[in-house]
Amino acid sequence: MKKLIIIKIGGAAIQQLTTAFFHQLQTWHLQGYRILIVHGGGPMISQLMTRLQLPVKKMNGLRVTDDQTLALTKLVLLGEAQPALLTQLAQHHLPVIGLNAADNQLLVGDYVNQAQLGAVGKVTTVNQSYLQASLAHHIGVLAPLALTATGHWLNVNADVAATALAQQLQAEKLVLLTDVPGIIHHGNVLTTLSPHQAQMLTQQAVITAGMRPKVQAAIQAIQAGVAQAVITNAIDQPGTAIIQEAAI
């Protein structure tokens, strides 16, 4: 999809958005870009589970999702995180629309590893025509949930969901917005990062469990033909750009 920017916002970042963030969205919208925001809600989900005295289990950065965890995840994403983000965008006079997997089979998915992870999924199909129509005049705000072909809900890591959308829609840019300015090494933000460098920094525990899915997602996006993939804490700042090995 031409002139499409996909932005992933972590659950913690929803409460930390700056005026510059909304101004940049306004600028892109006026320039004719389609904008799709994929939002997380991990911290809110964990907090709710802790209050309910339920165990929070993660494996390689993914939340192990049994039936109870899935129900709480849907509750937080669709009932708390998405409305909070939509409210902020509307308050800054941006045209917005809330989206989820149940909208005309917007996101169809499959299990990643049902035996180990439960209802953790990956996106296999995107209803591109419906999404294109939705984004023609509105900024989309999408929860990272998918439905199987038989109608079972899946919890999809927001980075993974944003990457799958960027790949299938051939987005011009993927921005993974987090709470740090990029990949930090020896106190400095790396302006670029190649897959080989990412592997080395992972082995050195510079890139840890929380950042690992973001880096892997950005690498997959670049390798699938997305022009730009950036990890940053501000969409108007360069952050760390993931690059192809040959581009070094």
Name the phi and psi angles at 11, rounded to 5: -60, -40
Instruction: Reply yes or no on whether the pLDDT at 248 is more than 50.
Output: no
Whether 58 is catalytic: no
Look over the chain and give the mean of its residue pLDDT values, rounded to a whole number: 90
Higher pLDDT, 194 or 114: 114
Q: What is the pLDDT of residues 61-107, one digit of tens each?
A: 789 999 999 999 999 999 999 999 999 999 999 999 999 998 989 99
In the set 40, 42, 121, 182, the catalytic residue is 42
Look up the CATH superfamily of 4-175: Acetylglutamate kinase-like (3.40.1160.10)
Instruction: Reply yes or no on whether the pLDDT at 9 is more than 90.
Output: yes
Q: What is the pLDDT of residues 206-244, one digit of tens each?
A: 787 678 878 888 888 888 888 889 998 888 888 898 887
Q: What is the pLDDT of residues 152-181, one digit of tens each?
A: 999 999 988 999 999 999 999 999 988 788
In the set 40, 109, 121, 214, the catalytic residue is 214
Closest CA to 66 of 123, 115, 122: 115
In the set 8, 109, 182, 239, the catalytic residue is 8
- Are 11 and 44 in contact, with CB atoms under 8 Å apart? yes
Pairing of strands 121-126, 107-111: antiparallel
> DSSP of 206-222, one letter per residue?
SS-TTTHHHHHHHHHHH
Task: Find all residues with CB under 8 Å of 189, minimum gap 6, and list them.
Answer: 181, 182, 183, 239, 240
| Domain parsing of the chain, residue ranges | 4-175, 178-247
Whether 122 is catalytic: no
Q: What is the model's pLDDT at position 246?
A: 61
